[in-house]
Structure 1
Amino acid sequence: MEALRKIKVYPKIGLIILAFIAFISLGMPDGLLGVAWPSIRTSFSIPLDAIGMLLTASVAGYLTSSFLSGPLISRWGVGSVLAASCAMTGLGLIGYTLVPVWWMMVVLGILAGLGAGAIDAGLNTYVAAHFGEGLMQWLHASYGIGVTLGPIIMTIALTTLNSWQVGYRVVGGFQVAVAACFVLTLAMWNQNDTSVADDKPKRLTDYKTPMGETLLQPRVWLSVLLFFLYVGAEVSLGTWTYSLLTESRGVDPAIAGLFAGSYWATFTLGRMAAGLYAKRVGVNLLVRGSLIGALLGAVLLVWNPSEWTNLLAVALIGFAIAPIFPAMMSGTSERVDAHFAANTIGLQMAAAGLGSAIIPSFLGILARQISLEVIPIGMVVAFGSLFGLYLLADTSKLKA
């Protein structure tokens, strides 16, 4: 019996490693866009705020596949869905480099978003069902590795080959390779789909609370707003840091790429560290402390006393905000009650997707009309608002 258990462990380890690699590939495109954007808009002769079109298209695809991920996994299995999703994302990214006009790239953004949404939802669902919270922290840390590698890959492509297309082709090819790995391991994923024990404690997904009842809860909307603002701020800084430094503050492109990469590098380190101390600190203290640190970093970015202060500010914000998303997600049932948690988590994911498109796009419009210096000011407003809303959510939880 003991030997049989050991045999079963090895396929699980392989699937965990593949899941981490897939999340690394999920993060890479998010790190590419901010560094590539000045070159992309030059190639297509489009304005600064046109990035909103691409973000909106990709988020539309992301939201669609996220909502449909449950039925798709039930019908075809998580392995098949992940294989198809990685292939779609990879082909979409490679397609970016082949189209002659901007609107075609925007259309391909829908395809890339469809793949990314299914990968995100599918892997989160699988890890939550089979491995628990500890591994979930490391899964999100692997996303940070991918989003750190993205700016590095694109910076190398721009500085050595003067081509943003090469950066997207490298990452797109990596996505296709991961899709092939999922195809080769389909039997292992399907076997684990049916291995969940029946004697486990009741899960959040076991509650069958109607969505209409959930939508009537003010606490739910407050929790959803937290995710809308947080992810919008996270993506905004990652998207606009490179443009802010190169086009507004005159930083050398190679150094600016290093600064942009430092945001995601410290973000990844913050997630790894949080996996070690989160339980001892507690969700509320962790989120509050993180938001204070992010707010201090944003103020430092606005102040901008020297070029290298930008590096400190960006790195500080990246490290500070890293634990916020997983911590707020794990604290959902405490904020809204277990009966509404499953529905709320889905709404939070949707709000996160919308925030990642709307807030960076809005800041892009302001930057075009006023100056790129509105970006750090926007970060101060966003993190300050998040801190106040989180305190309000805590208060409403106590009243309930």
Structure 2
Amino acid sequence: MIDPRTLLTALAFLAFISLGLPDGVLGVSWPSIRSQFGLPLDRLGLLVAVTTAGYLTASFMSGYLLCILSIGTVLAVSTFAASTGLLGFAVAPTWSLMIVLGFVAGLGGGAVDAGLNSYGARHFSPQTLNWLHAFFGLGTTIGPVIVSLVLGSGRAWWLSYAIVGSAQLALAMTFLFLRRRWEEVGELSAGNKEEAVPAPALETLKRPIVWLGMLVFFFYSGVEISAAQWSYSLLLLGRGFSEGAAGTVVSLYWGSLMVGRIAFGFVANAVPLIRTLRLCLSGSMAGALLFWLDISPVATVAGLMLMGFFFAPVFASLISLTRDRVGRDHADSTIGFQIAAAGLGGAVLTALFGMLTRSFGLEAIGTSILVSTALLLVLFVGFTTGVARRPSQ
């Protein structure tokens, strides 16, 4: 018989793959979507913005939801919402309906992300959390493959969303069937430790350490995503890389991030997290400096890959540290706020870097990445040296 902890851990891994799938599907299917509805190319931004709004709303409210519903119920309902949005894409007759469905899909994804991270901070080791986030990268990798196979076989784009949405629906039904197991396993993991009563979300927001943590997630996610989104344009249009070479470099960046998460998972339980993350963020700043200096093509590529590799353990490890930094009674709400701040940071810094290129040219991208990474290190030091409930590593 399968151990309940093993079963739920495997289910969490599947959930993180499912979180990454829609991100990978949208970009590749967009040319076909815009062609069907007769849309301009930049209308993709509207769909992304609305989906992000749903994601942020659910993430921000996740602490409240976990106070009134069990984690199993939250995961089941949220995954069902995500599947509804994705399956709706496959049959939506109008662009306006797709926009509405994008918000629904974002709500589901944000609640699943925040809910699993909150649960993982209580019951999963740093090793498991790092591997969970590596599986998110696996989902974003599988998504484009699904679309490519569908389009390559002569089928329409909507079949990709039917496949991904059906997988989400199956996951939702599994979450529903096992919804009580999450609390049972949580009680076993906690042992005799007394669980703190969750504090009201407004009380959590009054704590400066919470806002500092949100800023760390804002800048971390912002620079991680912006580096991927804008490095291709900088390499292709500003530094003489070919289309194929620039695309390969971006793939190497994402690959470094995924490999780093897998590798760090093997040592995460045996190293002092705070000290190790300071070294990693220092290493990522060194990579950003190398990318900015543009000494040679090889050095530029190495700098971007170093950034990806050293960024790898940051997100999941910060989730692991949050309960110690803010206290157990504020942890669930704080993690939800942090997930929301991460999503907002990815959107805001990506847009800001683009605006800076209009005034200062493409090289503003490298400068912005370097400055943001340095600021991230400063904020992280502030977050991990603030007042905590328990001594940290």
Q: Please give the TM-score of this superposition, normalised by the length of structure 2.
A: 0.79
Match of 2:11 in 1: 18
State the alpha-carbon separation in 2 of the partners of residues 380 and 249 from structure 1.
17
Match of 1:202 in 2: 194
Residue 33 of structure 1 deviates from its aligned partner by 6.3
Cα distance, 1:245–1:44 mapped onto 2, change above 3 Å: farther
Give the unaligned 5+ runs of structure 1. 1-6
> Could you tell me whether the CA contact under 8 Å between 2:22 and 2:164 is conserved in 1?
no
Q: 1:272 aligns with which of 239, 251, 262?
A: 262
> Could you tell me whether the CA contact under 8 Å between 2:71 and 2:115 is conserved in 1?
no
Q: 1:27 aligns with which of 7, 14, 20?
A: 20
Residue 14 of structure 1 deviates from its aligned partner by 4.4
Cα distance, 1:308–1:75 mapped onto 2, change above 3 Å: closer
Q: Does 1:80 align with 2:84?
A: no
Give the unaligned 5+ runs of structure 2. none
Match of 1:4 in 2: none
What RMSD in Å do the two structures reach over aligned CA positions? 3.8
Q: Please give the TM-score of this superposition, normalised by the length of structure 1.
A: 0.78
Deviation per residue, 1:101-157 (Å, 9 max, x gap): 6x7765553233122112212333454565554432321221122234456777x68
> Could you tell me whether the CA contact under 8 Å between 2:72 and 2:178 is conserved in 1?
no
| Correspondence 1:85-164 to 2 at 5 A | 85-91=81-87, 94=90, 107-128=100-121, 131-150=124-143
State the alpha-carbon separation in 1 of the partners of residues 24 and 277 from structure 2.
24
State the alpha-carbon separation in 2 of the partners of residues 347 and 223 from structure 1.
9
> Could you tell me whether the CA contact under 8 Å between 2:288 and 2:307 is conserved in 1?
yes
Cα distance, 1:38–1:87 mapped onto 2, change above 3 Å: closer
State the alpha-carbon separation in 1 of the partners of residues 109 and 29 from structure 2.
19
Deviation per residue, 1:333-357 (Å, 9 max, x gap): 4433445444322322222222122
Cα distance, 1:267–1:392 mapped onto 2, change above 3 Å: same
Cα distance, 1:355–1:18 mapped onto 2, change above 3 Å: same
> Could you tell me whether the CA contact under 8 Å between 1:93 and 1:112 is conserved in 2?
no
Match of 1:263 in 2: 253
Q: 2:66 aligns with which of 70, 73, 84?
A: 70
Q: Does 1:176 align with 2:166?
A: yes
* Aligned-partner SS, 1:269: helix
AA at the equivalent of 1:260: V
* Aligned-partner SS, 1:277: coil
Q: 1:188 aligns with which of 173, 178, 181?
A: 178
> Could you tell me whether the CA contact under 8 Å between 2:71 and 2:179 is conserved in 1?
no
Q: Does 1:373 align with 2:334?
A: no
Match of 2:373 in 1: 383
Match of 1:352 in 2: 342
Residue 172 of structure 1 deviates from its aligned partner by 6.1
Residue 380 of structure 1 deviates from its aligned partner by 0.5
| Correspondence 1:285-304 to 2 at 5 A | 285-304=275-294
Q: 2:311 aligns with which of 315, 321, 326?
A: 321
Cα distance, 1:134–1:287 mapped onto 2, change above 3 Å: closer
Residue 388 of structure 1 deviates from its aligned partner by 1.5
* Aligned-partner SS, 2:241: coil
Match of 1:58 in 2: 51
> Could you tell me whether the CA contact under 8 Å between 2:216 and 2:380 is conserved in 1?
yes
AA at the equivalent of 1:77: T
Cα distance, 1:138–1:243 mapped onto 2, change above 3 Å: same
Match of 1:3 in 2: none
> Could you tell me whether the CA contact under 8 Å between 1:152 and 1:261 is conserved in 2?
no
> Could you tell me whether the CA contact under 8 Å between 2:130 and 2:316 is conserved in 1?
yes
Residue 61 of structure 1 deviates from its aligned partner by 0.3
Residue 183 of structure 1 deviates from its aligned partner by 1.9
